[in-house]
Amino acid sequence: MRYDIVIIGGAIVGSSVAYYLREEGFTGSIALIERDPQFSQAATTLSLASIRQQFSIPENIRLSQFTLKLFRRLKETFGADADIGFREGGYLILAGEAGLPILKANHEAQIAEGADIVLEDAGQLARRFSWLSTEGISAGAYGRGGEGWFDAHALLMLFRKALRERRIDFITASVTGIAREGSRVTGVALDNGETLEAG
């Protein structure tokens, strides 16, 4: 058996890679290998499933904005029934005097990428969050939009369902070995005794 692309692990990263390969027009063969289709031990389904824009480098902020755009167009992308229960509630990241320069630098990187994050001093924070003790706090960065919580299992199932119409071979098995020729990966061995060649 030979596939142009073999993906090990069918949770959110593996499934979305397969999905976007097809979206970008890749027409070759793709195998998606998953040892546990219930995803009982996957980080995807065990995660806290929250999304934030508050990162320190543009690459991470852009990745998150890409996902946010998908969340905002969920029904257009996956169909009218698509629902991941996305609830927007911003992260609040606090800093004392020592952490303030880092918080400010991060905030500059975030707003340069168009993220809706505000930087507020202790007084402003106390007015916004009446429950907050601002003792020892110099400032806080708060996501006014684009941050919050969602159902990661539901999101994963949307990708998996979409893949069924996109000529992906789902293989339930555990990868036990990776074959190489020099620095090039040429295939994988599975726990059922089969091997798959990989382009």
Ligand X SMILES: Cc1cc2nc3c(=O)[nH]c(=O)nc-3n(C[C@H](O)[C@H](O)[C@H](O)COP(=O)(O)OP(=O)(O)OC[C@H]3O[C@@H](n4cnc5c(N)ncnc54)[C@H](O)[C@@H]3O)c2cc1C
Residue 12's Cβ-count burial label (10 Å; 0-12, 13-18, 19+) is buried
Query: Which amino acid is located at 159 in the chain?
Result: F
User: What are the phi and psi torsion angles at 187 (to 5°)?
Assistant: 175, 180
Q: How many Å is the Cα radius of gyration of the chain?
A: 21
User: What are the phi and psi torsion angles at 198 (to 5°)?
Assistant: -125, 125
CB count within 10 Å of CB 30 equals 21
39-47, 79-87, 117-125, 177-185 -> range binding ligand X (CB under 6 A): 39-47
12-20, 91-99, 116-124, 139-147 -> range binding ligand X (CB under 6 A): 12-20
7-15, 88-96, 105-113, 126-134 -> range binding ligand X (CB under 6 A): 7-15
Question: By CB under 6 A, is residue 155 in contact with ligand X?
Answer: no
36-44, 93-101, 138-146, 177-185 -> range binding ligand X (CB under 6 A): 36-44
Q: How many residues bind ligand X (CB under 6 A)?
A: 21
Question: By CB under 6 A, is residue 18 in contact with ligand X?
Answer: no
CA distance 144 to 129: 13
User: What are the phi and psi torsion angles at 131 (to 5°)?
Assistant: -85, -10
Q: Which of 3, 7, 14, 147 binds ligand X (CB under 6 A)?
A: 14
Question: By CB under 6 A, is residue 194 in contact with ligand X?
Answer: no
Residue 44 C-beta: closest distance to ligand X, Å:
3
C-beta of 54 vs 106, nearer to ligand X = 54
- Give the list of residues 6+ apart from residue 70 with CB closer than 8 angstroms, or none: 77
Which residues are at the interface with ligand X (CB under 6 A)? 8-9, 11-14, 33-36, 39, 42-44, 46-50, 174-175
